[in-house]
A and B are shown apart, each in its own frame.
Chain A
Amino acid sequence: MERKITLPITREIARTIKSGESCLLSGVIYTARDAAHKRLVELVEKGEKLPFDIENATIYYVGPTPAKPGSVIGSAGPTTSYRMDTYSPALIAAGETGMIGKGKRGTEVVDAMKRYGAVYFAAIGGAGALLSSCIRSAKIVCYEDLGAEAVRRLVVEDLPVVAVIDSEGNNLYEEGRMAYLNA
């Protein structure tokens, strides 16, 4: 059974989402990968304003393919999350409550998630065409020079994700595998 979640995710909502829950996200999310994260965290460290409101924001680690004429966006699946581990704790401290990517996270990220209340979702890696169909609009917010890596504001409808690591540090990658092996 999938849980429908309307964005934004507040810290309170984040704490109710449990590892292993399949969720359908609807509302506004922002895209950012390695290069954009680096710039965002530099702003945070300088105490400057970010180009979008990070409070209760969910960031999707994606670099989409270009939109064909008449399309909102191209293929848009998640990229591997550990490359953002250096930057995520600062963004979580600044207000980020949701992250969407795929793959493992470092302890520094999980510690920040537990401390502030944030959730890490995985979208299906390699399912860019399917995930694209959930994106209703896409607009570049900043860092256009980064091309596919620019920050985009997406409006999504029923974007299918799975909560992998919750705000208590429970981890589906460990627990799902154990459950399968012990079944």
Chain B
Amino acid sequence: MREIDAKLITETVARLAVEANCLLPGDIKNRIERARTEEKWPTAQGILDKIIENYGIAERDDMPICQDTGVCCVFLRIGQDVHIAGDITEAVNEGVRRGYAEGYLRKSVVGDPLRRVNTGDNTPAMLYTELIPGDRIEITVAPKGFGSENMSRLKMLKPSDGVGGVKAFVLETVEQAGPNPCPPIVVGVGIGGTFDKAALLAKKALMRSADERSADGYYAALEDELLESINALGIGPQGFGGRTTALAVNIETMPTHIAGLPVAVNINCHVTRHKSAVI
């Protein structure tokens, strides 16, 4: 049994929150820059140039790439041979509190969904925990903006709807979202499980590198096909028209009930942020 001080979790979450908000991951940068070379529509080229300029400024000036520094999603994959000394939830929240204060990040969380008073420190984090073998903790911090979160959808399809139903639902979701989620977007798709698991799969799909395809060849092909179909819609960067509507489609799946086919689509903007560390 390895003992890890909860303070180490706090420090790591605080650091990752700041880094995630100011440094765009390399896979997303590569996707945007590749899309710029492939984009033929002048308006779209101009927008992509400004997006590239923007993350350059953010990196240079240590400034948030986007003012919506998000609700802070924190994924902890905890080795089952670890004992954490201290309150783990409070340790994560303290990390968020510290990172959002020290990094001059926006506090965008209200304490109650209907009475809506800002908590003032961006807590609580949206905390996800999972047990894994080993004696380490993998921490991923993913600030999630709500312009794109608001365009996300879930549907309980019938088994007979099949892959055609899934494709239609993903395309309908991107079509309805149009310019709202700040395209070019990253599309996370969760298929299977239960109502709640499908949504979580879609969120986890957004954590996967845009350069990495599904390990299952069937789904890797579906990811490529959906990306092609989305980019044929013509929505384009910021919705002004063009090819570059999506940078990647990532699909995650799990077993489900004989009677069901849950599908969730979680949308992220071009500022797809996540940063990980292992302690």
The chain A residues found within 8 Å of chain B, CB to CB, are 35, 62-68, 74-77, 79-80, 82, 102-104, 122, 124-130, 132-133, 146-148, 160, 162, 172-173, 176-181, 183
Is the CB of B35 closer than 8 A to any CB of chain A? Answer: no
Contact status A125-B106, CB under 8 Å: no
26 A/B residue pairs, CB under 8 Å, sorted by A: A63-B68, A65-B67, A74-B104, A75-B66, A75-B69, A77-B68, A79-B147, A80-B150, A102-B180, A102-B182, A103-B239, A125-B66, A125-B147, A126-B51, A126-B54, A126-B145, A126-B269, A126-B270, A132-B63, A146-B118, A147-B118, A172-B240, A176-B43, A176-B240, A178-B234, A181-B234
Main secondary structure on chain B at its contact with chain A?
loop
Contact status B41-A183, CB under 8 Å: yes
In the complex, how many angstroms separate the beta carbon of B75 from the nearest chain A beta carbon? 23
Contacts of B61 in A (CB 8 A): 129
Q: A129-B54, A147-B120, A173-B239 are in contact. Are A122 and B65 (CB under 8 A)?
A: no
In whole angstroms, what is the CA distance A90 to B54 when docked? 34
Contacts of B238 in A (CB 8 A): 102, 122, 124-125, 162
Question: Which of B180, B181, B236, B269 is packed against the most chain A CB atoms within 10 Å?
Answer: B180
A sample of 20 more A-B contacts (CB under 8 A), given A64-B106, A82-B180, A173-B239, is A62-B67, A63-B67, A65-B63, A65-B67, A67-B104, A75-B67, A75-B106, A102-B179, A124-B54, A126-B182, A126-B269, A128-B54, A128-B65, A128-B66, A130-B50, A130-B57, A133-B57, A177-B236, A177-B240, A181-B241
- Point out the residue from B41, B104, B120 that lies within 8 Å of A68, measured CB to CB: B104
Is the CB of B20 closer than 8 A to any CB of chain A? Answer: no
Contact status B239-A180, CB under 8 Å: no
Contact status B241-A177, CB under 8 Å: yes
Interface residues of B in 151-201 (CB under 8 A from A): 178-182
In whole angstroms, what is the CA distance A122 to B47 when docked? 12
- Point out the residue from A66, A125, A177 that lies within 8 Å of B235, measured CB to CB: A177
In whole angstroms, what is the CA distance A64 to B64 when docked? 10
Contacts of B65 in A (CB 8 A): 75, 126, 128-129
In the complex, how many angstroms separate the beta carbon of B50 from the nearest chain A beta carbon? 5
Contacts of A128 in B (CB 8 A): 54, 58, 63-68
Contact status A176-B236, CB under 8 Å: yes
Is the CB of B212 closer than 8 A to any CB of chain A? Answer: no
Contacts of A148 in B (CB 8 A): 67, 106-108
> Which 7 residue pairs are nearest across A and B when measured between Cβ atoms?
A125-B182, A180-B241, A176-B241, A103-B180, A127-B54, A130-B54, A128-B67
In the complex, how many angstroms separate the beta carbon of A170 from the nearest chain B beta carbon? 13
In whole angstroms, what is the CA distance A74 to B108 when docked? 14
Contacts of A129 in B (CB 8 A): 54-55, 57-58, 61, 63-65
Is the CB of B271 closer than 8 A to any CB of chain A? Answer: yes
Is the CB of B99 closer than 8 A to any CB of chain A? Answer: no
Contacts of A126 in B (CB 8 A): 51, 54, 65-66, 145, 182, 269-271
Contacts of A124 in B (CB 8 A): 47, 50-51, 54, 238
Contacts of B236 in A (CB 8 A): 176-177, 180
In whole angstroms, what is the CA distance A42 to B138 when docked? 48
Is the CB of B112 closer than 8 A to any CB of chain A? Answer: no
Contact status B240-A127, CB under 8 Å: no
Q: Nearest chain-B residue to A82 (Cβ)?
A: B180
Contacts of B118 in A (CB 8 A): 146-147
